[in-house]
C-alpha cells in the first residue's frame, strides 16, 4: 500500500510539473535595410526589434520567429546564426555573476515563406542568456525570408528566480566569408556576448 501511495504522489508531482511547462511563442518582424554591417554580415539589436516582454519559466519551450519585412529576403550560406534574448533583472540587462541559463534541444530553421529551406542544429549548453545558436551550416546558399529558433529551457541556476522576464534581443547572421579582424571586434562589442556564445559552442562541439 505504501509503495502505491508513493507512486501516486510521484505521479501527481510529475503531472504538476508538466502542467506548469508552457510554450512561449514570439513572432517579430525586422527590416534588413542598412543592417549589412559588412559583406555577408547582418546585425540587429533591440531597437531593431519591436518592443516585447515575455516571462519564461524553467521547463518552458521557447519558439521565436524573426520575419523580414514583406518583399525582403537573404540569399547566403549562414555559417553562424546567433539569436540572443536577455533577461532584465532588477533593472539590469543580463544575469548576475555566478548565475546561468541552461537550454537543450536547440535549433534554428530558415524559412522561405512557410517552407523550411534549412535546419541548423543548435548548440545546447549553459550561458548568461537564452541563445538560439549554431555555427555548423556549410551548405550551398539558400534564400530565406525568416528564421525560427526553438529551445527547451532546462533551468535557471545560481541566484535566478524560477521565472525571468526577457525584453532584450540581438541577432547576428554571418555568411561563410571570414570577416576582417576590425569587423569582428566591432560586432563583439555591439553584440555584448557573441564571444561568450562562441566559446560555449566550441566547448559543446568538443564535448
pLDDT in tens, 69-79: 999 999 988 88
Residues whose CB is less than 8 angstroms from the CB of residue 206 and which lie 6 or more positions away in sequence, other chains included: none
Whether the per-residue pLDDT at 164 is higher than 80: the answer is yes
The band of 153, judged by pLDDT with boundaries at 50, 70 and 90, is very high
Other CB atoms within a 10 A radius of the CB of residue 64 amount to 24
Using CA atoms, how far residue 23 sits from 63, 91, 118, 170, in Å, is: 7, 25, 23, 21
Query: Are 93 and 193 in contact, with CB atoms under 8 Å apart?
Result: no
pLDDT mean across residues, the chain: 80
The whole-number average pLDDT for the span 171-181 is: 71
Whether the per-residue pLDDT at 12 is higher than 80: the answer is no
* Residue 183 phi, psi (nearest 5): -65, -45
Query: Are 81 and 63 in contact, with CB atoms under 8 Å apart?
Result: no
Whether the per-residue pLDDT at 194 is higher than 90: the answer is no
This prediction's pTM: 0.76
Rounded Cα distance between 129 and 44, Å, is: 16
Whether the per-residue pLDDT at 3 is higher than 70: the answer is no
The band of 134, judged by pLDDT with boundaries at 50, 70 and 90, is confident
- Please tell me which residue, 42 or 189, carries the higher pLDDT value: 42
Whether the per-residue pLDDT at 184 is higher than 80: the answer is no
The band of 14, judged by pLDDT with boundaries at 50, 70 and 90, is very low
Q: What percent of the chain clears pLDDT 70, i.e. is strictly above it?
A: 74
Whether the per-residue pLDDT at 31 is higher than 90: the answer is yes
The band of 4, judged by pLDDT with boundaries at 50, 70 and 90, is very low
The whole-number average pLDDT for the span 130-153 is: 88
Q: What percent of the chain clears pLDDT 90, i.e. is strictly above it?
A: 49
Using CA atoms, how far residue 26 sits from 49, 52, 167, 182, in Å, is: 12, 9, 11, 34
Q: What are the grid coordinates assigned to 199, written together? A: 566559446
Query: Tens digit of pLDDT for each residue in 90-133?
Result: 888 888 888 999 999 999 999 999 999 999 888 888 888 888 88
Give strand pairing partners of 144: 74
Residue whose C-alpha cell is 502542467: 19
Amino acid at each position: 500500500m505504501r509503495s502505491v501511495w508513493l507512486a501516486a504522489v510521484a505521479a501527481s508531482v510529475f503531472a504538476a510539473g508538466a502542467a506548469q511547462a508552457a510554450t512561449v511563442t514570439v513572432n517579430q518582424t525586422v527590416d534588413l535595410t542598412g543592417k549589412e554591417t559588412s559583406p555577408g554580415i547582418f546585425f540587429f539589436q533591440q531597437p531593431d526589434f519591436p518592443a516585447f516582454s515575455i516571462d519564461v519559466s524553467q521547463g518552458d519551450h521557447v519558439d521565436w520567429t524573426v520575419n523580414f519585412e514583406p518583399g525582403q529576403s537573404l540569399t547566403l550560406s549562414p555559417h553562424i546564426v546567433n539569436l540572443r534574448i536577455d533577461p532584465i533583472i532588477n533593472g539590469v540587462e543580463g544575469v548576475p555573476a555566478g548565475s546561468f541559463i541552461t537550454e537543450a534541444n536547440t535549433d534554428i530553421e530558415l524559412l522561405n515563406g512557410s517552407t523550411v529551406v534549412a535546419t541548423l542544429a543548435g548548440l545546447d549548453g549553459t550561458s548568461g542568456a537564452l541563445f538560439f545558436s549554431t555555427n555548423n551550416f556549410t551548405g550551398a546558399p539558400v534564400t530565406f525570408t525568416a528564421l525560427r529558433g526553438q529551445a527547451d529551457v532546462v533551468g535557471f541556476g545560481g541566484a535566478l528566480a524560477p521565472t525571468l522576464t526577457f525584453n532584450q534581443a540581438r541577432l547576428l547572421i554571418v555568411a561563410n566569408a571570414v570577416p576582417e579582424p576590425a569587423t569582428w571586434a566591432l560586432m563583439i562589442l555591439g553584440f555584448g556576448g557573441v564571444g561568450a556564445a562562441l566559446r560555449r559552442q566550441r566547448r559543446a562541439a568538443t564535448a
